[in-house]
Chains A and B, each alone.
Chain A
Amino acid sequence: MIPLQYYLLLAGILFAIGAYGIMTLSNGIRLLMCVELMLNAANMNLIAFSTHINDASGQVFALFSIALAAAEAAVGFAIILMVYRLRAKIDIENIKLLRW
């Protein structure tokens, strides 16, 4: 059996990759994917813990989380679509009408 730590490490790495991506990338879709990556890292944790302590609620949580991530992604894509319609680009760096 793969030890729990491996899962946690993997989840941590995924999370870090997601976080790194969200800090550095500028394409809207990629950012969205990075967010999903981080969320999935958390789901992974939940499932790993769930199996480790033999409790189903973690997996239930992960299921809900996935469903909500989907809903979130739907809204997210809709927003990015609107951005694309308005600017013909989804380059986040130039969207800075609102600042200071």
Chain B
Amino acid sequence: MVDYTALLPEGLLIVTAAIVLLAGLFITQKKILGYITLVGLLASLGLILKDWNLTATFDSAPFYGAIVVDPFSQIFGAMFLIVGVLVAIAALKAYGDNPRQDEFYSMMLLATVGMMVVAMSKDLLALFIGFELASISTYALAGFDKRDPKSIEAALKYFLIGGLSSSLMVFGISYIYGLTGSTNIDTIASVFGANPGLAATPAILLAMVMLIAGFGFKMAFVPFHMWAPDTYEGAPSIVSALLAAGSKKMGFAAAFRLFIVGLVAMKVDWYIAFMILAVVTMTVGNILAVVQTSVKRMLAYSSIAHAGYIAVVFVVVAYWNAPDSAVNLAVTGGLMHAFSHAIGKAAAFIAVAAIAYMILSKDKVDDPNHVENYDGLGKRAPMTAFLFALLLCSLAGIPPLFGFTSKFVLFLSTIEAGLLGLAIICVLNSALSVYYYAKVVMRMYWGEPKGEAFVESSTYTFVLAIAVIALIVLFFAPGDMVYQWAETAAHAVTGV
């Protein structure tokens, strides 16, 4: 008997999306749709958190085993929904007067569903569908400010590179399908297990590299990252939040499932690939972030660097000398870091939106995201600046915020695995990243204010406060709630 109740959160979102889209055709007071969206997201989140301590996979296998509900999907689902909630609240302010806001909400909901589907998928087809659902929705979202050439340009670049990546991904999937005869990840794994020679064929190698490229586009690994800074910068800030915090994590969800479960037999190969990618990604991301003058673009590069840190998970998992405990710890750390980064980065982009909104309301400037405009923000908008500074601290991995804990666990796993060189590169990169976050903080707190105080939007402040409080609470969380959740999820993936 197939039990579809486990899919209730996703179903709820789809229904909400449909309601929002349809209602948008009729009602004029569209702001209410934002609240409906929020209710849908919160209800869905509640459904997921209800089962947060789910330890095993749901018995049922909906859609012929293409979809699975397990702690791994739950934690990613929660992550996407939290990001969705943050973005939705911010959108209440950002698009509260926009006549097309119904489209925004419905696409955002659909994108969230797509991400959640990816996290749940056990089959490459489901994975691909979820991937595309999220992608297509976000292509449109990136160009949502259609009068803004930057937004359109962002969407165009995102779309073109996204299309290229999808085709690379499907091409890779096609080879895997051809060689293993299945698109089910478990089956693929067992076929590889049965035919050890298969993993060494060039075709499968090509497929693997193409899949890495396909997922790497979402995760923004260097050199597949080049769309990311442009898109994050050009897209509306709250969409950037969704992209950097949600869509990027979707790439990781897919990659965790496919590589760690499905392609575990060829881990020597992706060890090499991910080692190169991780090191290059974090280094390039950080070094380029250092020289940025736009805060938004800096956050984009920082999110690339963070992708590099999370990519360390693959290296540790694939490292042949790594003990099981290190493998588990790495995935746990990766999930925690994805979690902390999702909250932190989403809120950071929303903060940028809030700040840009305030700056545009008072100052005559070309680029509200330019770091010079942040001068003296600590005085002009004390709450926003304070919360933004704390978010940056979390991203930089400075206690007492959850970003520190997650980085701590993640880097711990590299040492456990014995990857000393990688560990040193990671921590040095992490130290370097402090530089550009600190630069912004410096501007905010000891730059000379360029004008009188702003009126801070309570909605934005509320979003940021939620995120910051969440990050602080998770740091002090008694009984390491998130850790255990992530660890269970890690078990579900690594199986050890």
Contact = CB atoms under 8 A, between A and B. Distances in A.
Interface residues of B, number: 41
Contacts of B167: 15, 18, 35, 38-39, 41-42
B177 A39 contact: no
Nearest to B138: A75
A98 B154 contact: yes
B136 interface: yes
A72 B132 contact: yes
A49 B153 CA distance: 38
A32 to B, nearest CB: 7
Interface string B144-169: 00100110111111011001101110
Given A31-B160, A39-B163, A72-B136, A79 B174 contact: no
Interface string A27-53: 010011001101101110110111011
Contacts of A49: 174, 177-178
Nearest to A63: B125
A75 B159 contact: yes
B156 A83 contact: yes
A53 B248 CA distance: 34
Given A45-B178, A65-B170, A98 B164 contact: no
A26 to B, nearest CB: 11
Interface string B111-143: 000000000000011001100100110011001
Interface string A52-94: 1101011011001100100110011011101100110000100
A1 interface: no
B143 A97 contact: no
Contact of A76 (B129, B139, B153): B139
A32 B129 CA distance: 20
A95 interface: yes
B175 interface: yes
B146 to A, nearest CB: 5
A53 B140 contact: no
B240 interface: no
Contact of A46 (B152, B168, B174, B181): B174
A17 interface: no
B289 interface: no
A85 to B, nearest CB: 8
A35 B163 contact: yes
Given A35-B164, A97-B150, A57 B125 contact: yes
Contact of B171 (A38, A80, A87): A38
B102 interface: no
Contacts of A28: 156
Contacts of A87: 149
Contacts of B136: 68, 71-72, 75
A36 B177 CA distance: 20
B183 interface: yes
Of B143, B146, B163, B173, the most chain A CB neighbours within 10 A belong to: B163
Contacts of B140: 75, 78-79
Contacts of B231: 98
Given A53-B178, A57-B177, A98-B233, 9 more contacts: A11-B174, A35-B166, A42-B173, A46-B173, A57-B125, A58-B177, A68-B132, A72-B132, A86-B152
Interface of B: 124-125, 128-129, 132, 135-136, 139-140, 143, 146, 149-150, 152-157, 159-160, 163-164, 166-168, 170-171, 173-175, 177-178, 181-183, 229-231, 233-234
12 contacts: A15-B171, A36-B163, A41-B167, A45-B171, A46-B177, A57-B125, A60-B125, A61-B124, A61-B183, A82-B143, A86-B149, A98-B154
